[in-house]
Chains A and B, each alone.
Chain A
């Protein structure tokens, strides 16, 4: 399993041709208390950069973008009832959705953990 990161502060854990996607620890700390999460419908086909989910905190509402092309195969329904999980465990149990990759080559353009860490420090 390999983990990738995007400049929009999303992480992807890829197993086979399925990526689990969530937002990073840095993203949740910037958002503040998350109060609402809207997930994509299963079966929806998304292109890289398309709006996939919405996360709303006491400060702002933000979009979560599809980090790569693919089809939504699952959503983390727990988040809809308990959005606070995004603050508690963003990079693990509070994953947002899983998508089946249709263009695995796009993964190479994303950052690894060390690169992402350096990117966050540069902000």
Chain B
């Protein structure tokens, strides 16, 4: 045993090998944090306030009749609660986040600095328009970048995130068809589309007709044409995700667009995977009529434990007149804010309004900061790096894991199926849970549905080669472990997370939707309460 001058042991010796239960249930920095209602008393106030004298309630019948049971916590107690919870969060700032079709991007701190400039950070949507010229100029500049990168002629800035953007784009399509005097009833959605696509179409009252994927995971223009012929004059739009959720660029996208347009329908593109093609291909040039852009994916504004999202929708010439209120009209160098129908001019026919105000201002500032700091060459390189990283992971794993569509290049995400787990007794879910033990957020699993036991991996473009090497090595180790019969590593995973595997079935079949107060705390105060 090594000894210091006070004779105190300086290494733990044999005791280091054993773990024991703690009194608090905490494991050092891994805290067992109760719900906020279980920390504070509801009969006290966390702040010392003077008694109010001569208080005359003026709420009449709306006056509170009983206690509402809010906890009385002091500021330090509240702070500690949320800081402790935040330490259980996994974020792109904490590690590689390979969630497919989600584009978990690093949020450059420059974006945050810009968003906190008082002129942007403290702006209020009801400020007089005469005081917000800078904000509108920023929105207009961002709109210009979005139209430039997508090759389109208009953009609706107000939608709050992807699915909201889909709704906006599809409402513009619906309005355009009504304006033509030929409302239609069917929307075509390929099987490899995002789940929100058919949901959006159904929400707007359309009947959804699925288009099966080809053997190679892409959409066949003849399959689209077949449905267009079958439902002649009834198809309002096709909703296509490109690159699709198999991580593949649709090679026939131009032919598909032409078929759709020849049938008098519109082409909606889900832009969630735009990160793969920024600066390389412009959706407008491919023939799309509407596409939402997830600023919180492609242009680095925070999401996943942060947010909020932001989903501007770019529109083709054919849909531009139907963009929703409010919008900004440019007259030379003058910007005019159009809020109401009486401000409209010839050629403007908005379908309505999606939101009260102009959109997610904080996200606009961050997205434009990202674009301006990267420049057009930087945005292009980000896409190239995203595709390179996904293919680096693909090549590092394709001999051990199975690619459903063969060993060919993917876009910004790589899709594996679970064939490589056949006979091991390990499922995709087990594999994902074991990744948690290794300190990784799992990839997207069981999606897309067209592939059995899907694992969709999207590594961020900013991951270093060393980071990708460690990730690939970890997955290789897991695969080897599964194949050599170490099923216990998977069956009980995660072993090291703050919570072990949850019972998803019971959570869905018998959800506990109401909080009930737990038994009183076990620790008695030294001085009994009076």
Contacts and interface: CB of A to CB of B under 8 A. Distances in A.
A60 B505 contact: no
Interface string A88-107: 00000000000000000000
B61 interface: no
A59 B447 CA distance: 9
B509 interface: yes
B505 A58 contact: yes
A83 interface: yes
A56 B505 CA distance: 11
Contacts of A36: 508
A110 interface: no
Contacts of B447: 60
A33 B505 contact: yes
Contacts of B508: 33, 35-36, 56, 58
A111 interface: no
B449 interface: yes
How big is the B interface, by class?
A: under 10
B446 interface: yes
B503 to A, nearest CB: 10
B446 A35 contact: no
Contacts of A59: 446
B509 A60 contact: no
A58 B428 CA distance: 13
A84 B508 CA distance: 11
Nearest to A49: B209
A60 B504 contact: no
Interface in A27-52: 33, 35-36
Nearest to A123: B452
Contacts, number: 18
A35 B449 contact: no
Contact of A33 (B446, B449, B504): B504
A59 B504 CA distance: 10
Contacts of A33: 504-505, 508-509
A84 B509 contact: yes
A33 B508 CA distance: 10
A58 B504 contact: yes
Nearest to B509: A35
Interface string B506-530: 0011000000000000000000000
A33 B505 CA distance: 6
Interface in B435-493: 446-447, 449
Residue of B446, B449, B505 ringed by the most chain A CB atoms within 10 A: B505
A94 to B, nearest CB: 15
Nearest to B202: A51
A35 B508 CA distance: 6
Contacts of B504: 33, 58
Given A33-B504, A58-B504, A83 B509 contact: yes
B422 to A, nearest CB: 13
Nearest to B511: A35
Nearest to A36: B508
Nearest to B508: A35
Interface string A58-96: 111000000000000000000000011000000000000
A60 B449 CA distance: 8
Contacts of A84: 509
A33 B503 CA distance: 11
Nearest to A30: B452
Interface of A: 33, 35-36, 56, 58-60, 83-84
8 contacts: A33-B504, A33-B505, A33-B509, A35-B505, A36-B508, A58-B504, A60-B447, A84-B509
Given A33-B505, A33-B509, 15 more contacts: A33-B504, A33-B508, A35-B505, A35-B508, A35-B509, A36-B508, A56-B508, A58-B504, A58-B505, A58-B508, A60-B446, A60-B447, A60-B449, A83-B509, A84-B509
4 residue pairs, one from A and one from B, having the closest CB atoms = A35-B508, A33-B505, A58-B504, A59-B446
Interface of B: 446-447, 449, 504-505, 508-509
